[in-house]
Structure 1
Amino acid sequence: MSNQLILSLIAASVLTACGGSSTSATAPADPTPAPPKPTTTITATTGVITGFGSVFINGVEYETDATTVTTDDNGGASESDLQVGMVVTLSGEINEDGTTGNANAIHYDEQLKGPIASIDLFANTITILDQTIVFDDLTSFENFLLADLIPGDILEISGYFHTDGTLYATRIEKETEQTQLKIQARITLLDSVNKTFELNGLTIDYSSAIFKDFLEADLVDGQQVRVKGEYTALNAGVLVVSEVKLKEKNENNEEGDNRHVEGFITDFESSGNFKVDGIAIILDDNTEFKYGDASALMANVRVKIKGEFNADGSLLAKKIRIEQKTNLSIEGAIEAINLDLSTVTVLGVEFEINNQTKMKDESDNGERFFDLADVAIGEFVELKGFVDSDGKNIATKMQRENEDENAEVELKGHVSNILNFSFSLVGVTVITDANTEFEGKNGDDVNQEVFFEQLENNMQVEVKGQLIDGVFVALSVEIEEKDDDDNDSNRTEFKGIVEAINEGTLVVSGHQVLVGQTTIFKIDDVRVAAEQFWSSISIDTQLKIKGTLDQQGVITANYIELE
């Protein structure tokens, strides 16, 4: 019997067994094959939360429906406990598109919590427990206005460390009550006999502390640790701590493991040999750059890196995004929105919004899952950003706010086109007049003529004003750059607590303050005579001081106010 006849008989028997026949039914067509499942990459990520919808970190939107969320104080937290600006660690998967994924676990630890010792609003620094915190236009502020902060306020700080141990704040939250003090920093002056060490000058007594993730015998200078102590355990510059936790990166990474990391470059040897968040980074010819190239890599440059670990434990960077300094700021009503191009226009200036833009709704709407589709023409927003190499304004932050009751808007950027007491800023022509208030290079009040004598193209300037018949008229203008001709002093707008009073001098939050014949004295914003001022202050009085700060930390006061 031929093979063809055998196959025919088998086919007929199968159809008969199924109750059909070759003449009465047609075999059904094969079903459409299911589309292949998208491939995912397992990853670990450290980065700042820039928005919710689920959670945006390092330009990736992670779904959080099945995510375990923990914080230092809450092992059973939820997504609602997370906020924009927090630095978190995440484990999960990223989809093939590189912009979406799923988070399995998210954890948040603050880097510092404690009372303010002093504030410098010009230098953008705060001192807490001898730790120096730096903030800027991208820092998220929770529960307070910056100008309202005073010494003694308790703050929680999340952020990244510079090479010198200074903490850059990505988020600052004001606490409403005295809580446990927390500090993360590197150990110096370890004294194993007396059981003390220092964290940026603050003495830590660990004699009664519990050690987590390592042993007391393993303590060495240079380790990054995180300590906790009760608010009442701080006395005379010594904090007795209840816990010491190791914060070094002891990751057991295998070759090929994926990692996203964000932070400042430290341990810089060369553009192909440095660390970010304690992880050794290397480059090769295939490394891709965004907003710069390898020549821009140096100590204290902020970067976002995506890569894979190699056999020796170094992270081979596939993509490096160089975070540009925010030098553009605009505040006002939205005039146009283009969802296809992801742009928004304010005062005729167009900004591009992307998946790295920090998005927050501070208006009465309070929308948590806030993005460009949630805003409307006429709503009031604040935009921060920079100009890329193609001349586009890239938004690093967009914040919706309640409309200013006085229709006052704000601009900040580099000056151009200075002409006849006017200039251009962020592409907007700014007009000044007799009602404009001017602050010059030295932080002092000047008239219009003196201000424009000091003003030069490319200077950083901040303007507050109003749109009147389509013309931007400045109510106040301030030069934000220091005078480079005076290399031994810097402007300061300092808030601190009086620690000592001497004839002609004060000690305020550790700084010696020199008071001269030209110093202006105020009490609650009212100018007073020197005799009235001196009779009104005492130890622990809070003062606001404007002047110059030299390299030894001595302030020469132009202005002192008892608030």
Structure 2
Amino acid sequence: MNPSTVFFGLPAMDPEKTESEKKTMNRRGMRTSMIAIGAAAALVLTGCGGGGGGSSSGSTTRGAITGFGSVWVNGIEFQTGSETHRKLLDTGEDHSGGVQDCTVLSVGMVVTVHHGDGDDHATEIEYEDNLQGAVQYLNTTDNTFEVLGQKVRFGGTTNIEHGPIGDGFVVEVSGLTASDNVIDATYIDVKLGESDEFEIKGYVYSVGIDNTFRLGPLPGVSTVTVDITGVTLQDIPGGVLAAGQFVEVKTRSLTTGSFPDAVIHATEVEGKKDIGHSEDHDDHDNHDNHENHS
């Protein structure tokens, strides 16, 4: 399969690499990529972080990572250190000790930061994607595509790793939901290997009588139909779906139809802990430029 690609990124350089290594990485094109659209500038990471201390956790902050040198979220620099747990919930990984933040996390990932009341010392940083699946209906006019029936929009500030993107490419998406129920992607990871299992997370909007339910990226939002014929529900209270539940839907096939009338034929539906996805509104709806920090 040789799907057409539509944009190419600019490699982001690791400040700890030599000039020779940087040139080699540039030629190979195997480093982090950024969308280059119009005159938008690529994000430049100049610090990796991982040197602060810890404190007791009492508050949470949620938002997209905008830089390193510790971890910047929502304009706040959260100090990280050996006691900070960096949890990738989709894979079950938990990184602490002397690990550098930028080797585990990436700019654009929407994360939940646990920290002490009134301080900026991160005790735990949780990351969980919105969805992962094959790109469909790529539209270069309005910079959108669909994954599992959910429309995704990208722009000059979307951090893309291992790009480019084309129809049929498997991608992991993290972002915020705009007022038109489209996910404004802040982070996209193009998967380099083949994958035959896709997943999407969201809130149950309504439950039908025909083994289907409607799913959306926010509570009270409906964007895709899920067919659960023959599927055993996992970790669902009483084994009964209800509006407002946060779930993960897995499938091995592409959706039929397109946004907002697509249908997912599920292979698995699992109740999940909501780490704050209900707060993931895009208040700007226009991909405002992220502030970069070093």
TM-score by length of structure 1 reads 0.35
Q: Check 1:207–1:119 CA distance in 2 against 1; reply closer, same or farther (3 A cut).
A: same
Structure 1 position 71 matched with structure 2 position 5: no
Deviation at 1:124, TM superposition (A): 1.5
**Contact 2:157–2:287 (CA<8 Å) still a contact in 1?**
no
What's 1:117 paired with?
136
**Contact 2:212–2:225 (CA<8 Å) still a contact in 1?**
no
Structure 1 or 2: more strand by fraction: 1
What's 2:70 paired with?
54
**Contact 1:196–1:207 (CA<8 Å) still a contact in 2?**
no
Structure 1 position 91 matched with structure 2 position 114: yes
Which SS does the other structure have where 1:133 is aligned?
strand
What's 1:167 paired with?
183
Deviation at 1:197, TM superposition (A): 1.2
CA distance in 2 between counterparts of 1:126 and 1:93 reads 39
Q: Check 1:143–1:95 CA distance in 2 against 1; reply closer, same or farther (3 A cut).
A: same
Which SS does the other structure have where 1:85 is aligned?
coil
> Percent of pairs identical after alignment?
24
Q: Unmatched 5+ residue regions in structure 1?
A: 1-38, 251-260, 265-299, 303-322, 328-355, 360-370, 372-563
**Contact 1:90–1:106 (CA<8 Å) still a contact in 2?**
yes
What's 2:14 paired with?
none
Q: Unmatched 5+ residue regions in structure 2?
A: 1-54, 96-100, 216-222, 257-262
User: 1:424-449 deviations in whole A, cap 9, x for unaligned?
Assistant: xxxxxxxxxxxxxxxxxxxxxxxxxx
Q: Check 1:74–1:188 CA distance in 2 against 1; reply closer, same or farther (3 A cut).
A: closer
Alignment equivalent of 2:240, drawn from 201, 217, 228: 217
**Contact 1:129–1:202 (CA<8 Å) still a contact in 2?**
no
Deviation at 1:111, TM superposition (A): 0.3
Structure 1 position 227 matched with structure 2 position 248: yes
Amino acid of the structure 2 residue aligned with 1:75: G
User: 1:10-54 deviations in whole A, cap 9, x for unaligned?
Assistant: xxxxxxxxxxxxxxxxxxxxxxxxxxxxx9994211111111222
CA RMSD of aligned residues (A): 3.2
Which SS does the other structure have where 1:141 is aligned?
strand
Alignment equivalent of 1:44, drawn from 60, 66, 79: 60
**Contact 2:89–2:127 (CA<8 Å) still a contact in 1?**
yes
Alignment equivalent of 2:200, drawn from 164, 180, 183: 183
- Using CA pairs below 8 Å that are at least 6 residues apart, which structure has the higher relative contact order? 2
> What does 1:461-480 align with in structure 2 at a 5 Å threshold?
none
> What does 1:396-411 align with in structure 2 at a 5 Å threshold?
none
Q: Check 1:82–1:157 CA distance in 2 against 1; reply closer, same or farther (3 A cut).
A: same
Alignment equivalent of 1:152, drawn from 168, 180, 184: 168
Which SS does the other structure have where 1:136 is aligned?
coil
CA distance in 1 between counterparts of 2:255 and 2:149 reads 13
> What does 1:309-320 align with in structure 2 at a 5 Å threshold?
none
> What does 1:274-423 align with in structure 2 at a 5 Å threshold?
301-302=283-284, 326=288, 357-358=291-292, 371=294
CA distance in 2 between counterparts of 1:51 and 1:70 reads 18
Q: Check 1:48–1:74 CA distance in 2 against 1; reply closer, same or farther (3 A cut).
A: same
CA distance in 2 between counterparts of 1:159 and 1:112 reads 10
Larger Rg: 1
User: 1:346-405 deviations in whole A, cap 9, x for unaligned?
Assistant: xxxxxxxxxx7235xxxxxxxxxxx2xxxxxxxxxxxxxxxxxxxxxxxxxxxxxxxxxx
Alignment equivalent of 1:136, drawn from 143, 155, 159: 155
What's 1:8 paired with?
none
